[in-house]
């Protein structure tokens, strides 16, 4: 029976020995511009760039053994891709191949079989976007891509993938084209937070939040962040949405949930964490690598509001 990774983190914080489960102390290889996804007792890190450039490496952390292993490499080397999980399968879409060439490639990894499968491409090339799973479908949201007029720019496009039919369908666009944003599912809806973009070709840092209702296929505005930022990360914990880091000085932390009029500020990490990955596990947020941190892992306790540095950058 699977046990919750958060239990181990709580035991570690209390000084107990987590014999069965663990959390990573550091990444096996430093990287940024990568993607991460939490699946059961595993955390998978995919692609991005290391000290030598783009990497196709896929590292999987097993919380039961406390060890890292290498899974089958990405068939298409890329960074700034989007990733999401359905069951034990990891889906990776878009990104920049060799850091330069935008791609529409869409692939699926079965973690148990350690095998990749090519799926129908995105409708157009896209990078610096997000993908989330909701209701058995995947939603590819925004990013830097091809607008309807053929221009390469920030886009508001949202496409839904149905695994049962292996087809993409365009759904309602966001109000604001953007890239470098964060997205997640909270209480049956999709939240898109921050990023860079704007209307009429603007390219400004955003504090805006948009909320998608999949039943109505419609977007509405949420409360603005207290701190505008892009290349941040978001996750849910303790029934709240948490926004962490971004391309700015320091590492601000804010939280919010439905029914509240404004975001709440929390203690920040006194370093810059951007273009990183983060997973939320019950009452902890775990940051993984990033442009300024590479192999570092930091843990934020959403109960106490305190940061614990598992490892520093190398």
In a domain, 48, yes or no: no
Q: Which are the contacts of 173, defined by CB distance < 8 A and separation ≥ 6?
A: 156, 157, 158, 219
Q: In what order do the strands lie in the sheet with 115-119?
A: 82-86, 89-93, 106-110, 115-119
- 3-state secondary structure string, 175-207? CCCEECCEEEEECCEEEEECCEECCCCCCEECC
In a domain, 103, yes or no: no
Counting the structural domains of the chain, the total is 1
Residue 80 near residue 96, CB atoms below 8 Å: yes
* pLDDT for the residue 310: 64
Cα separation values, 287 from 67, 114, 200, 213, 293, Å: 17, 25, 34, 28, 10
Domain harbouring 278, CATH code: 2.120.10.80
Per-residue pLDDT of the chain (314 residues; tens, 9 = 90+): 333 334 333 333 333 333 434 778 889 888 999 999 989 889 999 999 987 888 999 999 987 888 999 999 999 899 999 999 998 899 999 999 986 889 999 999 999 999 999 999 999 999 999 999 999 999 999 999 988 788 889 999 999 999 999 999 999 999 999 999 999 999 999 999 999 999 888 889 999 999 999 999 999 999 999 999 999 999 999 999 999 999 888 889 999 999 999 999 999 877 778 899 998 877 889 899 988 778 888 888 899 988 887 655 55
In a domain, 298, yes or no: yes
Residue 33 near residue 79, CB atoms below 8 Å: yes
In a domain, 167, yes or no: no
In a domain, 273, yes or no: yes
* pLDDT for the residue 235: 94
For residue 227, the 8-state DSSP code is: S
Task: Enter the tokens of residue 135.
Answer: 């209701």
Paired with 36 in beta bridges are: 45
Task: Enter the tokens of residue 206.
Answer: 């955003």
Q: Is 190 exposed, middle or buried (0-12, 13-18, 19+ CB in 10 A)?
A: buried
In a domain, 269, yes or no: yes
Q: Could you tell me how many residues make up the chain?
A: 314
In a domain, 232, yes or no: yes
* pLDDT for the residue 44: 94
In a domain, 258, yes or no: yes
| Enclosing domain of residue 257 | 1-30+223-314
């Amino acid at each position: 029976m699977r046990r919750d990774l958060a239990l181990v983190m709580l035991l570690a914080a209390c000084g107990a020995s987590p014999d069965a489960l663990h959390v990573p102390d550091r990444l096996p290889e430093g990287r940024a511009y990568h993607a991460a996804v939490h699946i059961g007792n595993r955390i998978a890190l995919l692609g991005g760039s290391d000290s030598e450039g783009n990497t196709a490496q896929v590292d999987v952390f097993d919380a039961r053994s406390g060890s890292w292993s290498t899974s089958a490499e990405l068939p298409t080397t890329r960074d700034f891709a989007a990733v999401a999980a359905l069951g034990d399968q990891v889906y990776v879409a878009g990104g920049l191949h060799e850091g330069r060439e935008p791609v529409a490639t869409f692939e699926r990894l079965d973690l148990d079989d350690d095998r990749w499968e090519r799926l129908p491409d995105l409708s157009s090339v896209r990078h610096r976007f997000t993908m989330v799973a909701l209701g058995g479908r995947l939603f590819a949201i925004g990013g830097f891509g091809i607008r309807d007029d053929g221009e390469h720019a920030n886009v508001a496009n949202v496409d839904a993938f149905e695994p049962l039919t292996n087809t993409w369908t365009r759904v309602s666009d966001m109000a604001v084209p953007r890239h470098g944003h964060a997205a997640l599912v909270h209480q049956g809806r999709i939240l898109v937070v921050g990023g860079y973009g704007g209307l009429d070709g603007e390219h400004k840092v955003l504090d805006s939040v948009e909320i998608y209702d999949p039943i109505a296929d419609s977007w509405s505005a949420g409360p603005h962040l207290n701190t505008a930022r892009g290349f941040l990360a978001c996750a849910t914990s303790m029934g709240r949405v948490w926004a962490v880091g971004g391309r700015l000085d320091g590492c601000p932390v804010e939280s919010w949930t439905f029914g509240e009029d404004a975001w709440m500020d929390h203690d920040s990490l006194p370093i810059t964490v951007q273009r990183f990955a983060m997973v939320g596990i019950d009452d902890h947020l775990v940051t993984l690598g990033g442009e300024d941190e590479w192999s570092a892992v930091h843990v934020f306790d959403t109960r106490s509001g305190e940061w614990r540095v598992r490892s520093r950058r190398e």
